[in-house]
Amino acid sequence: MATLLIVEDDQGCNEAVCEYLQMAGHRLLPAYDGATALQIFAENNVDLVVLDIMLPKLSGLAVLRAIRRQSKTPVLMLTALEDEYTQLQSFDAHPDDYLTKPFSLLLLGRRGTALLRRCGKGRLPEQMHFGEVVVNFPGYTAHDANGQIEVTAKEIALLKLLVEHKGLALTRSQILDAVWGRDCAVFERIVDTYIKNLRRKLRLNCIVTVKGIGYKYEEQL
């Protein structure tokens, strides 16, 4: 679990982002202005900041510069502004990533997960147990008490992607881009076939179908 500071003055947007990222098991700290954001940042061990540029009391750029003077905590910038000058200003202050509004919560989740993984948070162990099945991610193998289980590298890569984004629903299109690559000419429904194979071969009940969206990984108690 990571601690995320969400700095967005629009209450509806802030609540939506917090609710979505909370599904991944993170601790969320909302702030609605720049001054409050810096106070919360100083009082907590924050792993990731999601920061809007346009804020009351203190701008997002001022908040980012203040954070950078004291910390290398990853910062994901949000803005509705598309002018080149504002974007250049924000990049000069060294954000780690950038999203322009309106943005997809799915994309926000993926960008946030990538930043956390880059700084060592949420990094997967080399091996994971799924019931009686042991999956070795670097080796793209799986086995149980009876020996090796026949799985493909793509199946393991797909499982790894879902586990890395625990609690977050990924669309078939996002899964295709991440596992097969953007230039690979395959149909989205191939994802369904691979999910079916994973569930059958590894006896998984932790891959959940999200109706109208795609799939997500949920830890089983």
CATH number for the domain harbouring residue 133? 1.10.10.10
From 118, 143, 171, the end of a domain falls on: 118
What band does 88 get if pLDDT is binned at 50, 70 and 90?
A: low
CATH of the domain at 48: 3.40.50.2300
Asked if 16 and 82 sit in the same domain, the reply is: yes
Note whether 18 and 109 are same-domain residues.
yes
Q: In terms of domains, do 46 and 107 share one? A: yes
Same domain, 131 and 187: yes
Question: What pLDDT sits at residue 206?
Answer: 92
Predicted structure pTM score: 0.70
pLDDT reading at 8 higher than 90: yes
- Residues 67, 157: one domain? no
Residues 136 and 192 in one domain: yes
The last residue of one of the domains, among 65, 87, 118, is 118
Let me know whether 75 and 153 are in one domain.
Answer: no
140 with 202, same domain: the answer is yes
**Domain closes at, from 96, 118, 140:** 118
Same domain, 66 and 132: no
User: What total of structural domains would you count in the chain?
Assistant: 2
pLDDT exceeds 60 at position 221: no
Kindly report, residue by residue over 141-151, the tens digit of the pLDDT.
999 999 999 99
Q: What is the pLDDT of residues 162-217, one digit of tens each?
A: 988 888 888 898 888 888 887 777 788 899 999 999 999 999 999 999 998 899 99
Q: Is the pLDDT of residue 77 over 70?
A: yes
Co-location of 93 and 11 in the same domain: yes
Looking at the structure, do residues 110 and 11 belong to the same domain, yes or no? yes
178, 85: one domain: no
Residue-wise pLDDT for 24-62, tens only, equals 778 999 999 999 999 999 999 999 999 998 899 999 999
SS3 letters for the chain? CCEEEEECCCHHHHHHHHHHHHCCCCEEEEECCHHHHHHHHHHCCCCEEEEECCCCCCCHHHHHHHHHHHCCCCEEEEECCCCHHHHHHHHHCCCCEEEECCCCHHHHHHHHHHHHHHCCCCCCCCEEEECCEEEECCCCEEEECCEEECCCHHHHHHHHHHHHCCCCCEEHHHHHHHHCCCCCCCCCCHHHHHHHHHHHHCCCCCEEEECCCEEEECCCC
In which domain, by residue range, is 180 found? 127-217
